[in-house]
A and B are shown apart, each in its own frame.
Chain A
Amino acid sequence: MTPEQIKRLIEAVAKTVVAEADRLTALDQAIGDGDHGLNMKRGFEAVLADLDGLSRKPLPDAIKSVGTHMVMKVGGASGPLYGTLFLTLGKELPADPTLADLAKAFATAFEAVKARGKSDLGQKTMLDVFGPVRDALSGATADPLLGDRIKRVATEAAETTVNMKAIRGRASFLGDRSIGHMDPGACSAALMIATIVDTLETL
């Protein structure tokens, strides 16, 4: 990817999260401590402030730097979780990744996030989006409909968290009352994945 493409990709993700911060916060107010949108916004505003620096780096280093901003700036559990996702992707991806490289790196990143959060599938977390996306990427071939498939998988996976009972995170304190609301982390994960797909298709 060219520096201009890297810039457009990271900028699109950051701007989407910033624009959707209120929605993420509203979801978190329902079942958590109500800071997810604000925290993610703080992290991605730091990314936007560093956009020129980031896009001068090779893709893996740029992704790692996004991870570092998340870790240093977010201030909630989503900081180290998304930080670990991006740091691992940056470590695992080659400079010019193929679809197979992406599938492999994403699977490794999934495991890293799972370990960081001491969580697993079905616990109403961002993993419930990353898991199905990992599965959809695994062995996928680059056909024109792949992007739409990945987006649909991510969006539907976020929807499945509505009916889950939270086992990890602040929402788990609510027990059965966590059922009926989408997990904010699953929502932000699906949002970012959809933005990445949309942006990659325009590059």
Chain B
Amino acid sequence: MSKNVGIVIVSHSPKVAEGAADMVRQMVGAEVPVAWTGGNPDGGLGTSVPAIMEAIDKAWSDAGVAILVDLGGAETNSEMAVEMLDGDRQSKVVVCNAPIVEGAVIAAAEAASGAALADVKRTAEELSPQ
């Protein structure tokens, strides 16, 4: 298991999520665990709590997991997915308030340096106007 923080990308569109994950990979290779998910349970545009839980599992690192989301439902469903994780995992997963593509790339770059979860989140969130 990687010692670096993992990154999960949650978009309404599987194409956006996969594309953002490709850009992350190009930046950090295999140094950072990355997983993506997009689409509702029927495969249409939307997000899915079970699929997000699965992605968190795929990108799991004991250092924690940072989730990047696009629009409203992706955020709400991600927060719900985090709450449905086992108690000891919950505190190690954060949803970042950052643009999904830029946020994922910069969060992964920070994670690749071995930064702690809070620093990965903060770096991504510096991209969002406060």
Looking at chain A's contact residues, the main secondary structure is helix
* A3 CB-CB contact with B under 8 Å: no
* B11 CB-CB contact with A under 8 Å: no
Instruction: State in angstroms the CA–CA spacing of A33 and B74 once bound together.
Output: 13
Instruction: State in angstroms the CA–CA spacing of A117 and B72 once bound together.
Output: 9
* A51 CB-CB contact with B under 8 Å: no
Interface hub of B42, B47, B50, B72 (most chain A Cβ within 10 A): B72
Provide the B26-68 mask, 1 if CB < 8 A to any CB of A, else 0: 0000000000000111101111111000000000000000000
* Given A75-B48, A79-B49, A80-B49, A42 and B41 contact (CB-CB distance below 8 Å): yes
| Residue of chain A at shortest CB distance from B42 | A42
**Residue among A42, A117, A169 making CB contact with B40, cutoff 8 Å:** A42
Instruction: State in angstroms the CA–CA spacing of A168 and B84 once bound together.
Output: 24
Q: How many A-B residue pairs have CB under 8 A?
A: 61
Chain A residues lying within 8 Å of B40, measured Cβ to Cβ, are 35, 39, 42, 74-76
* B80 CB-CB contact with A under 8 Å: yes
Chain A residues lying within 8 Å of B84, measured Cβ to Cβ, are 71
Provide the B105-125 mask, 1 if CB < 8 A to any CB of A, else 0: 000000000000000000000
**Total interface residues in chain A, CB < 8 Å:** 23
Contact A80 B46 (CB under 8 A): no
Chain A residues lying within 8 Å of B41, measured Cβ to Cβ, are 42, 72-75
Contact A76 B50 (CB under 8 A): no
Instruction: State in angstroms the CA–CA spacing of A203 and B44 once bound together.
Output: 38
* B76 CB-CB contact with A under 8 Å: yes
Please list the residues of chain A having a beta carbon within 8 angstroms of any beta carbon in chain B. Answer: 33, 35, 38-39, 42, 71-81, 83-84, 116-117, 168-170
Please list the residues of chain B having a beta carbon within 8 angstroms of any beta carbon in chain A. Answer: 39-42, 44-50, 71-73, 76-77, 79-80, 84
